[in-house]
Structures are given as structure tokens and as C-alpha cells.
Amino acid sequence: MTELSICILPKLKGPGGPSSFQAKLINGLSALGIESHHDPHTPGTQAVLVIGATRKLDELYYAKRTHIHIVQRLDGMNWLHKRQPTGWKHYLRSQRMNLQLSFIRRWLADEIVYQSNFTRDWWNTVYGSLRKPNRVIHNGVNLNTFNPSGDGQLPEDFIRLLVVEGSFKGGHERDMFNAVEAANRLSARLDRRVELMIVGNAPQHMREQVSCSHKAAVRWMGLVPHERIPELDRSAHILFPAEINAACPNSVVEALASGLPVVSYATGSLPELIGEDGGAVVPYGSNYWHLEEPETDLLVEAAVKVLDDLPAYRASARKRAETYFGLEQMVADYKEALLGN
């Protein structure tokens, strides 16, 4: 008897968010007795999940011809290359990726899974609504791995503001400078030492710019193994998600699960992820689509409010993750999208 299975395209490797999602989904489906692979020609294949886009369009055409259900998981789209110079190679690569994503979305996918309501609205606005099934499935987190108990203690003699991003390259300079300015203003507002801990790939020239302008202490961690993130979350007072218009950042749901409150500007998916009980969300105060400078004082006042009642915010952040972002629920939702009930 042929085993029923699903195909996941493309096969991803590396430390990035899509790779982490793929690994978590494969393990979660396996626990439900559903095998995964990366070849739609495998006998018994019931569905294909496309994570973003793939260059192997011939594999999708085969699935389409043989009536294998195709589900596309959509992140946000590339946009920073249209707002500031990022180099012609980056510009062309960004444009090509947007075209691949939109082509699969319109012509090959039978159903779309958006990572957030923000992401769905964004795609519908730029590339038009489609008459095909779609749903929103937020990223999930292992609530046992990411929890408030374990290694990583809060420092007692200073406030730690944590930033966890994959990279600050490719036009993400404004993200970095927003984080630095927030730490500087918070330090001045509290009249207390604030440490900005930055996890992510930051180019040397950006580090040099920051070193000339910051008042708060800046601790550069670089890229760290994913298994260290729970410890770092537990060692911070507040997470600041730096990326503007993030589709559904793993760093936010991981922080909430770790009992780390999140304070952010109201861009992208952050308002729907953080809600009223995961921390605080404030207006950006200017046109973030044009990468203008934010109204930092609003963010600082929100951070002070969270710090003044930190134990309650830590507990409510964890509760929000338990309610909305458990990994088991995410896997169950994808199983339903791929295979039905």
C-alpha cells in the first residue's frame, strides 16, 4: 500500500526563518504520522507546500497536471530596494523574487496561506485579490523550549533591550538606527544604564556608525545558534522588533513564549502578534513606508510603562503565546490546509 505524504518545496537549509519553519513543520507532521519529502513525483503525494517560491516550476506544473493540491505559504514581499539604493544586484534579485512569488500565487497555487493578516492585506493591495481559498496561519513556537524557566537571568544593575534579527543588510539600516535611538532615549529617560543587545548580522560599517553616536551600551552578539535564543530572551527586560513591516517574525512569538514583553512600533504584523497583553505597540509617528524617522518618545514611554509593571507583563506575554502561538496548533492548521480535515 502506498504511503500518503506531502511534498515541501524548495528544500531549505541554513539558519533562516523559512528553514526553521520547514524543519518544525516536518517534525510536527511526522509526529502525526504524515511523511514529508521534496519530490512531487513520489507515489502517494497528496499535496505540495511551496514555502515562498521555487525555481522548479516544472515540478509545480507536474503537480497541477496530476491534480495534486498546491498550497503556497506567503511571507511579505521585497520593498526596501525601491526606497533606497541597495545595489543593482540586490535590486534585480528582489524584483525577480517578487515576480516568482506573485506568479505562483496567481497561476499555480490552489490555496494561499498568509503568515499574518497584514501579509494578506499587503499582497491583495499590491497584486490584487484572488478568487481562491486562503487563510492566515501565524508562526508557532515550541512552548517547552521557549518558556520563562531555565538559563538566562535578568541583570539587576541595568536594563537590557534585546533586538533579534537575521540581518541588517539589504536596506535595513533604518531598523538598526531605530533600535539605537530607542536605547539612547530610554537610557536618558530612566537616568539608568541601558544595554542594547543586538543579535544578527550587522555589517562593520554600520557598527562603526553606531559606535560614534550611541549613549546606551551596545553589545554586538552577531549570529548565534538558535538554541541560545531562549536563554537570551530570558536575560532581557524588553524585546524591540526592529524590522519595519515584518510579516510574522519568529523572534516575537519566541519572546512572548519566553515571558519577554515586546515593545514595538505599529508596523507590519506586530500589532496583531503582540495584541494588548504581549507588551505595548505605539504609532510610528511618520511615514515608515518612506523610511522616515519614528516618534521615539512614544516608544520610550511605552517601554517605561512595561518596566514599571514587568512581572505582570512577563506573565501576560507567556499567556498570549500559550493561547495563540503553540507549535501544535500551527502544525494542525497546516495539516488541514494541505490534507483537509
Q: What is the pLDDT of residues 255-292, one digit of tens each?
A: 999 999 999 999 999 999 999 999 999 999 999 999 99
- Lowest pLDDT segment from 5-19, 112-126, 247-261, 291-305: 5-19
Which one has a higher pLDDT value, 170 or 192? 192
Q: Average pLDDT for residues 44-51, to the nearest whole number?
A: 96
Q: Average pLDDT for residues 70-84, to the nearest whole number?
A: 92
Confidence check: pLDDT of 315 > 90: yes
Q: Are residues 278 and 172 in the same domain?
A: yes
Q: Average pLDDT for residues 87-95, to the nearest whole number?
A: 89
Q: What percent of the chain has pLDDT over 90?
A: 80
Q: Are residues 119 and 209 in the same domain?
A: no
Domains held by the chain: number: 2
Q: Look at residue 152 and tell me if it is in a domain.
A: no
Q: Look at residue 112 and tell me if it is in a domain.
A: yes
Q: Are residues 182 and 315 in the same domain?
A: yes
Q: Average pLDDT for residues 19-28, to the nearest whole number?
A: 92
Q: Are residues 302 and 332 in the same domain?
A: no
Confidence check: pLDDT of 211 > 90: no
- Lowest pLDDT segment from 86-100, 196-210, 253-267: 196-210
Q: Look at residue 145 and tell me if it is in a domain.
A: no
DSSP 99: H
Which one has a higher pLDDT value, 2 or 123? 123
Look up the domain containing 260 and give its range: 159-324
At residue 19, the pLDDT reads 86
Question: pLDDT digit string (tens) for 169-185?
Answer: 777 888 988 999 999 99
Q: Say what the alpha-carbon torsion angle 246, 165, 180, 265 is, to the nearest 10 degrees.
A: 20
Q: Look at residue 150 and tell me if it is in a domain.
A: no
Confidence check: pLDDT of 1 > 50: no
Q: Are residues 306 and 266 in the same domain?
A: yes
Q: Are residues 133 and 12 in the same domain?
A: yes
Confidence check: pLDDT of 17 > 80: no
Q: Look at residue 149 and tell me if it is in a domain.
A: no
Q: Are residues 132 and 269 in the same domain?
A: no
Which CATH number characterizes residue 86's domain?
3.40.50.2000
Q: Are residues 115 and 178 in the same domain?
A: no
Q: Are residues 128 and 82 in the same domain?
A: yes
Q: Are residues 308 and 330 in the same domain?
A: no
Q: Are residues 318 and 334 in the same domain?
A: no
Q: Look at residue 164 and tell me if it is in a domain.
A: yes
Q: What percent of the chain has pLDDT over 70?
A: 97
Q: Average pLDDT for residues 152-169, to the nearest whole number?
A: 92
Please give the angle made by the CA atoms of 107, 90 and 92, to the nearest 5 degrees: 45
Q: Look at residue 153 and tell me if it is in a domain.
A: no
Cell of 275: 495584541
Q: Average pLDDT for residues 197-224, to the nearest whole number?
A: 83
Amino acid code (one letter) for 75? D
Q: Are residues 247 and 205 in the same domain?
A: yes
Q: Look at residue 146 and tell me if it is in a domain.
A: no
Confidence check: pLDDT of 204 > 60: yes
Cβ neighbour number for residue 2 with a 10 Å cutoff:
8
Per-residue confidence at 2, pLDDT binned at 50, 70, 90?
Answer: low
Q: Average pLDDT for residues 224-240, to the nearest whole number?
A: 96
Distance CA 144, CA 24 (A): 14
The pTM of this model reads 0.94
> Which residues 6+ apart lie within 8 Å of 321 measured at CB?
141, 143, 146, 253, 256, 257, 278
